[in-house]
Amino acid sequence: MKIGIMTRHFVRQSLAETLDAIISHDIFHVQFNLTSAHVKESLDHEIDLVGNQVSQQIAKRKMSVSALSGEINMVHPDLALRQAEISHLQHLISSCKTFGTSIIATCTGSRSTESMWKYHLDNETEESWQVLIATLEKLLPVAEKHGVILAFEPEVNNVANTISKSLRLIEEMKSPNLKIVMDAANIFGKGELPRMSEILDQAFDLLGDHIALAHAKDLDHDGDAGHLAAGTGLLDYERYVSLLCSLPFDVPVILHGLDEDQVDSCVSMLNRLARAN
């Protein structure tokens, strides 16, 4: 199992210090957040330069960028704001490989104006679904042109908030460049935790072939995304890791939702469970 972490969990004064802190925990895979490069995300014209600088520092330490963080609100109700985010992600897609990866992790977003991670009743409407489709129709041709995978999370607070909707999205878009970020702490709707085993199995049965990346965190209630460190909540990690290990490819597993002092125990837990499979 290729265990990694989001770089944003290590706040340091420089990129070099951030990467050194990560490898001090014996972690050599990362999902890279642009904030870790200490540049403004709005400087799209400089992304190539930033990517080259990051990839040099990564290679120097024999690390690997498993994915680039590229979350935007694909269904933001403000058209101007939505288009600005689409434009940013298009720039990021075109420069993705300069960071040493061909995967961008993103999300389908929410109709909430407060946060792309906050649920809104309008997420359930056909209008929101069509806005999502229209956004992806602007993004996927760019991803296909540059050979980049756009991987979204099935997330209870987003428009693609169930396993079935996530599969529907992949089938409707018909693009080999649209894949899944599997985060098992984010897929349980209200009242669904008692069916955890069934839902986990269904998620991998229906979406397993489309998984490009996995996230590892935990939850203490359903009906919301999880926000706990892996192994500290209610998620059945034995089953989750077993399902990840059963995939026909070695998917990177990225830790997040944790503090630095929790990193070592989370890594140990994942390694122990992976060895059992």
Note the pLDDT tens digit of each residue in 153-190.
999 999 999 999 999 999 999 999 999 999 999 999 99
Total domains in the chain come to: 1
CA distances from 193 to 131, 200, 214 (A): 30, 10, 20
pLDDT band with cut points at 50, 70 and 90 for residue 196: very high
Residue pair 33/6 in contact (Cβ under 8 Å)? The answer is yes
* String of DSSP letters for 195-209: GHHHHHHHHHHHHGG
- Structural domain containing residue 234: 3-275
Q: Taken in order 120, 126, 132, 138, is the CA torsion positive or negative?
A: negative
> What is the rounded CA–CA span in Å between residue 162 and residue 154?
6
The pair phi, psi for residue 30, each rounded to 5°, is -140, 150
| 142-155 pLDDT, tens digit each | 999 999 999 999 99
Tell me the pTM. Answer: 0.96
What is the pLDDT, as a whole number, of residue 179?
Answer: 99
Binned at pLDDT 50, 70 and 90, residue 75 comes out as very high
Task: For residue 115, give the nearest of 225, 259, 5 by alpha carbon.
Answer: 225
- Return the pLDDT at 204: 98
Give CA–CA dist 165/108, Å, rounded: 11
Question: What CATH number is given to the structural domain containing 243?
Answer: 3.20.20.150
| pLDDT surpasses 90 at 251 | yes
Tens of pLDDT along 83-112? Answer: 999 999 999 999 999 999 999 999 999 999
